[in-house]
Amino acid sequence: SSSDMISQLKEIATQESVEIPPEVLRMISQNAKGSLRDGTNVLEQLITSYGSSIRIENARDFLGIQGEDRAIVFIKHLLTGATPQALETINVVSSEGYDLRAFQQTILSLLRAILLEKTGVPDVMDLSNDIAGQVTFLANSVSLPKIMHSIRLLNQFKHDDSVPGPMLFELAIVELDLR
Protein backbone atom coordinates (compact mmCIF):
# COMPACT_ATOMS: atom_id res chain seq x y z
CA SER A 1 0.00 0.00 0.00
CA SER A 2 0.96 3.64 -0.35
CA SER A 3 1.35 4.10 3.40
CA ASP A 4 3.65 1.06 3.59
CA MET A 5 5.82 2.45 0.82
CA ILE A 6 5.95 5.86 2.47
CA SER A 7 7.04 4.21 5.74
CA GLN A 8 9.78 2.28 3.93
CA LEU A 9 11.00 5.39 2.13
CA LYS A 10 10.97 7.37 5.39
CA GLU A 11 13.05 4.65 7.05
CA ILE A 12 15.59 4.76 4.20
CA ALA A 13 15.78 8.55 4.43
CA THR A 14 16.30 8.35 8.20
CA GLN A 15 19.08 5.77 7.78
CA GLU A 16 20.74 8.08 5.23
CA SER A 17 20.29 11.13 7.53
CA VAL A 18 18.18 12.87 4.90
CA GLU A 19 15.57 15.50 5.78
CA ILE A 20 12.56 14.96 3.56
CA PRO A 21 9.01 16.33 3.96
CA PRO A 22 6.13 13.83 4.12
CA GLU A 23 4.67 15.40 0.95
CA VAL A 24 7.81 14.44 -0.99
CA LEU A 25 7.53 10.87 0.23
CA ARG A 26 3.90 10.83 -0.92
CA MET A 27 4.90 12.25 -4.33
CA ILE A 28 7.55 9.53 -4.71
CA SER A 29 5.02 6.86 -3.75
CA GLN A 30 2.45 8.13 -6.26
CA ASN A 31 5.10 8.37 -8.98
CA ALA A 32 6.26 4.79 -8.30
CA LYS A 33 2.68 3.46 -8.73
CA GLY A 34 3.10 0.77 -6.08
CA SER A 35 6.63 -0.34 -6.96
CA LEU A 36 8.87 -0.07 -3.90
CA ARG A 37 11.91 -0.63 -6.10
CA ASP A 38 10.97 2.33 -8.32
CA GLY A 39 10.23 4.47 -5.26
CA THR A 40 13.57 3.59 -3.68
CA ASN A 41 15.39 4.40 -6.93
CA VAL A 42 13.71 7.81 -7.13
CA LEU A 43 14.59 8.53 -3.50
CA GLU A 44 18.24 7.56 -4.13
CA GLN A 45 18.36 9.79 -7.21
CA LEU A 46 16.91 12.70 -5.24
CA ILE A 47 19.53 12.19 -2.52
CA THR A 48 22.28 12.07 -5.14
CA SER A 49 20.96 15.22 -6.84
CA TYR A 50 19.99 17.34 -3.83
CA GLY A 51 21.93 16.00 -0.85
CA SER A 52 20.71 15.55 2.70
CA SER A 53 17.88 18.10 2.61
CA ILE A 54 15.28 17.53 -0.08
CA ARG A 55 12.60 20.17 -0.58
CA ILE A 56 9.20 19.80 -2.22
CA GLU A 57 10.33 22.00 -5.11
CA ASN A 58 13.33 19.69 -5.69
CA ALA A 59 11.06 16.66 -5.98
CA ARG A 60 8.60 18.45 -8.27
CA ASP A 61 11.40 19.58 -10.57
CA PHE A 62 13.05 16.16 -10.51
CA LEU A 63 9.80 14.29 -11.21
CA GLY A 64 8.61 16.89 -13.73
CA ILE A 65 5.29 17.33 -11.98
CA GLN A 66 3.13 20.23 -11.02
CA GLY A 67 2.01 20.55 -7.48
CA GLU A 68 -1.46 19.87 -6.25
CA ASP A 69 -1.99 23.64 -5.97
CA ARG A 70 -2.05 24.14 -9.72
CA ALA A 71 -4.01 20.92 -10.27
CA ILE A 72 -6.75 21.97 -7.85
CA VAL A 73 -6.99 25.35 -9.59
CA PHE A 74 -7.39 23.53 -12.90
CA ILE A 75 -10.05 21.25 -11.39
CA LYS A 76 -11.99 24.23 -10.00
CA HIS A 77 -12.07 25.78 -13.47
CA LEU A 78 -13.00 22.46 -15.06
CA LEU A 79 -15.84 21.62 -12.65
CA THR A 80 -17.31 25.12 -12.53
CA GLY A 81 -17.45 25.57 -16.30
CA ALA A 82 -14.70 28.19 -16.46
CA THR A 83 -13.48 26.75 -19.77
CA PRO A 84 -11.21 29.65 -20.84
CA GLN A 85 -9.41 29.57 -17.48
CA ALA A 86 -9.04 25.77 -17.60
CA LEU A 87 -7.59 26.03 -21.12
CA GLU A 88 -5.24 28.80 -20.01
CA THR A 89 -4.05 26.77 -17.00
CA ILE A 90 -3.25 23.69 -19.07
CA ASN A 91 -1.41 25.79 -21.65
CA VAL A 92 0.69 27.50 -18.97
CA VAL A 93 1.60 24.11 -17.47
CA SER A 94 2.52 22.81 -20.92
CA SER A 95 4.53 25.91 -21.90
CA GLU A 96 6.52 25.67 -18.66
CA GLY A 97 7.68 22.24 -19.82
CA TYR A 98 6.02 20.12 -17.18
CA ASP A 99 5.11 16.51 -17.82
CA LEU A 100 1.43 16.51 -18.82
CA ARG A 101 1.12 12.79 -18.03
CA ALA A 102 2.15 13.45 -14.42
CA PHE A 103 -0.16 16.48 -14.27
CA GLN A 104 -3.02 14.32 -15.54
CA GLN A 105 -2.33 11.76 -12.79
CA THR A 106 -2.33 14.48 -10.13
CA ILE A 107 -5.64 15.79 -11.47
CA LEU A 108 -7.17 12.31 -11.51
CA SER A 109 -6.00 11.64 -7.94
CA LEU A 110 -7.61 14.86 -6.75
CA LEU A 111 -10.80 14.17 -8.70
CA ARG A 112 -10.88 10.78 -6.99
CA ALA A 113 -10.55 12.51 -3.62
CA ILE A 114 -13.46 14.80 -4.56
CA LEU A 115 -15.53 11.78 -5.65
CA LEU A 116 -14.83 9.94 -2.40
CA GLU A 117 -15.61 13.04 -0.34
CA LYS A 118 -18.86 13.53 -2.28
CA THR A 119 -19.95 9.95 -1.60
CA GLY A 120 -19.09 10.09 2.10
CA VAL A 121 -16.01 7.89 2.07
CA PRO A 122 -13.57 8.93 4.82
CA ASP A 123 -10.44 10.74 3.71
CA VAL A 124 -8.13 8.04 2.38
CA MET A 125 -5.59 10.37 0.79
CA ASP A 126 -2.81 12.21 2.56
CA LEU A 127 -3.57 15.78 1.46
CA SER A 128 -2.39 19.06 2.89
CA ASN A 129 -5.01 20.91 4.95
CA ASP A 130 -5.45 23.55 2.24
CA ILE A 131 -5.98 21.01 -0.55
CA ALA A 132 -8.25 18.88 1.66
CA GLY A 133 -10.39 21.96 2.35
CA GLN A 134 -10.67 22.71 -1.35
CA VAL A 135 -11.54 19.07 -2.08
CA THR A 136 -14.35 19.29 0.49
CA PHE A 137 -15.58 22.59 -0.96
CA LEU A 138 -15.68 21.16 -4.50
CA ALA A 139 -17.36 17.95 -3.34
CA ASN A 140 -20.08 20.05 -1.71
CA SER A 141 -20.41 22.43 -4.69
CA VAL A 142 -20.43 20.15 -7.74
CA SER A 143 -22.87 17.43 -8.74
CA LEU A 144 -21.84 13.79 -8.57
CA PRO A 145 -22.54 13.22 -12.31
CA LYS A 146 -20.26 16.16 -13.21
CA ILE A 147 -17.43 14.75 -11.04
CA MET A 148 -17.86 11.26 -12.50
CA HIS A 149 -17.98 12.55 -16.07
CA SER A 150 -14.82 14.61 -15.50
CA ILE A 151 -12.96 11.56 -14.21
CA ARG A 152 -14.09 9.40 -17.12
CA LEU A 153 -13.24 12.04 -19.69
CA LEU A 154 -9.78 12.84 -18.32
CA ASN A 155 -8.96 9.18 -17.75
CA GLN A 156 -9.84 8.07 -21.28
CA PHE A 157 -7.11 9.89 -23.15
CA LYS A 158 -3.48 8.87 -23.27
CA HIS A 159 -0.81 11.32 -24.28
CA ASP A 160 0.64 10.65 -27.68
CA ASP A 161 3.79 12.31 -28.97
CA SER A 162 2.18 12.66 -32.42
CA VAL A 163 -0.43 15.03 -30.95
CA PRO A 164 0.95 18.50 -30.20
CA GLY A 165 1.28 19.66 -26.59
CA PRO A 166 -1.89 19.88 -24.57
CA MET A 167 -4.34 19.27 -27.45
CA LEU A 168 -5.93 16.18 -25.86
CA PHE A 169 -6.41 18.07 -22.60
CA GLU A 170 -7.97 20.94 -24.54
CA LEU A 171 -10.38 18.61 -26.31
CA ALA A 172 -11.43 17.03 -23.01
CA ILE A 173 -11.95 20.45 -21.41
CA VAL A 174 -14.11 21.67 -24.28
CA GLU A 175 -16.04 18.39 -24.46
CA LEU A 176 -16.83 18.59 -20.75
CA ASP A 177 -18.03 22.16 -21.21
CA LEU A 178 -20.36 21.08 -24.03
CA ARG A 179 -22.18 18.57 -21.80
Computed over every residue of the chain, the mean pLDDT equals 86
Query: What's the whole-number mean pLDDT along residues 20-31?
Result: 85
Q: What is the pLDDT of residues 59-76, one digit of tens each?
A: 877 876 657 888 999 999
Give 39-54 pLDDT, tens digit per residue: 999 999 999 999 989 9
pLDDT of residue 165 exceeding 70: yes
pLDDT band at 148 (very low <50, low <70, confident <90, very high): very high
Q: Which pLDDT score is estimated for 93?
A: 87
Segment 173-178 mean pLDDT? 85
How far, in Å, CA of 31 to CA of 154, rounded? Answer: 18
Q: Which residues are 53's β-sheet partners?
A: 19
82-128 pLDDT, tens digit each: 999 999 999 988 888 777 887 888 899 899 999 999 999 876 666 77
d(C-alpha 160, C-alpha 95), whole Å: 17
pLDDT of residue 62: 82
- Mean pLDDT of the region 21-29: 86
CA distances from 138 to 50, 112, 133, 146 (A): 36, 12, 9, 11
* Phi, then psi, of 34 in degrees rounded to 5: 90, -5
The pLDDT of residue 66: 59
